[in-house]
């Protein structure tokens, strides 16, 4: 029997990759805000992957999950049809073991496949694309005294040379999205979160949560690789996407980050806050140049970012609650 969605509320939106770490939280916030949501997943029948979505408040009345695959042209047609907004968050799960081809193709072609489906939807008002702050900060030269803003773009050549496939994939995917939307008259806004930290709705930990878990257990290698990066609470990342969709004056790119820290600074803060966890304090100095972000554009949307302490408090509480971490 086909599920009937409530037609009242703020309207219908689509979230791609709905079962992912960030996308699940975005679905939660959209449901709480009164939207009814079409979520795309690889397999709607995989209870382990999607059960946490059905437990969300409002899910039974205002959530429908449909099958779609980033690499299958046209598979998003039915999902986006009739939606006023599309939040494209779906992205390949990436870590250092993935090759250049494994990283770039699903990120770029997957984004274009979603946008091709959006082009067929006469009801569409806006697409909000989840990009990344890594599309801004990988550069040969910049003035460390001037915070990076949305006008900055990561150097493709530098990514190639350093084999930074994630940053390269995100940069090329966002550029491809801008080119396609400009050519096809699609209203696009992109949100560029830094490292997203916070509670996980899914029992399966994402790559970032796994790194945090390792840090709390005294492991160092994965976290050392982060160097100097920005951090943002998952709830702030979700809210920024919703504000970018709802604000008619929103346009262009929006960096989404609470704070930028060196790994040794972060470890020092966390070890002081959680002295019973074996958090390693001696991290090597990062070879990345000093940088910060200019957050004025996101703040004009109404964003007020949570502190790094709040995001890690919520993340650790989630790890404890789900049994991934034991109380010291």
CA distances from residue 193 to 94, 179, 233 in whole angstroms, order as listed: 16, 21, 9
The 10 Å CB-count burial string (b at 16+, else e) for 36-65 is bbbbbbeebeeeebbebbeebebbeebbbb
The distance in angstroms from the start CA to the end CA of the chain is 48
Phi, psi of 39 (to 5 degrees): -105, 130
Q: Are strands 36-41 and 63-67 parallel, antiparallel or unpaired?
A: parallel
Residue 54's contacts (CB-CB under 8 Å, 6 or more residues apart) are: 60, 63
Assessment of whether the complete model's pTM goes beyond 0.85: yes
Residue 120 token pair: 């067929």
Tens-binned pLDDT, residue by residue, of the chain (328 aa)? 334 444 456 899 999 999 999 999 999 999 999 999 999 999 999 999 999 999 999 999 999 999 999 999 999 999 999 999 999 998 765 555 677 888 898 899 999 999 999 999 999 999 999 999 999 999 988 898 999 999 999 999 999 999 999 999 999 999 999 999 999 999 999 999 999 999 999 988 888 888 889 888 888 776 777 788 999 999 999 999 999 999 999 999 999 999 999 888 888 899 999 999 998 877 766 677 889 999 999 999 999 999 999 999 999 999 999 999 888 7
Query: How many Å apart are CA 141 and CA 144, to the nearest integer?
Result: 9
């Amino acid at each position: 029997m086909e599920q009937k969605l409530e037609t009242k509320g703020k309207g219908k939106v689509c979230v791609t990759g709905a079962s992912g770490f960030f996308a699940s939280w975005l679905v939660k916030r959209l449901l709480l805000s009164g939207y009814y949501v079409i979520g795309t997943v690889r397999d709607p029948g995989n209870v382990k992957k999607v059960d946490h979505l059905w437990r969300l408040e409002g899910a039974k009345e205002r959530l429908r999950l449909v099958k779609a695959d980033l690499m299958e042209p046209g598979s998003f047609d039915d999902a986006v049809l009739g939606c006023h907004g599309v939040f494209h968050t779906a992205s390949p799960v990436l870590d250092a073991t993935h090759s250049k081809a494994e990283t770039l193709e699903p990120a770029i072609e997957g984004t274009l496949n979603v946008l091709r489906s959006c082009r067929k939807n006469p009801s569409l008002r806006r697409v909000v694309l989840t990009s990344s702050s890594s599309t801004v900060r990988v550069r040969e030269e910049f003035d460390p005294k001037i915070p990076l803003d949305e006008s900055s773009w990561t150097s493709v050549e530098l990514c190639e040379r350093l084999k930074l496939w994630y940053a390269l994939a995100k940069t090329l995917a966002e550029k491809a999205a801008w080119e396609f939307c400009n050519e096809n008259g699609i209203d696009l806004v992109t949100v560029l979160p830094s490292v997203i930290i916070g509670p996980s709705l899914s029992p399966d930990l994402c790559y970032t949560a796994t790194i945090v878990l390792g840090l709390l257990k005294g492991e160092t290698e994965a976290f050392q690789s982060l160097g100097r990066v920005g951090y943002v609470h998952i709830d702030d990342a979700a809210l920024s996407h919703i504000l970018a969709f709802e604000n008619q004056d929103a346009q262009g790119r929006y960096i989404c980050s609470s704070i930028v820290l060196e790994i040794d600074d972060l470890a020092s803060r966390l070890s002081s806050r959680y002295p019973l966890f074996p958090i390693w304090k001696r991290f090597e100095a990062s070879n990345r140049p000093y940088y910060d972000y200019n957050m004025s554009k996101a703040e004009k949307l109404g964003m007020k970012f949570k502190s790094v302490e709040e995001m890690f408090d919520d993340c650790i509480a989630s790890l404890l609650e789900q049994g991934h971490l034991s109380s010291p």
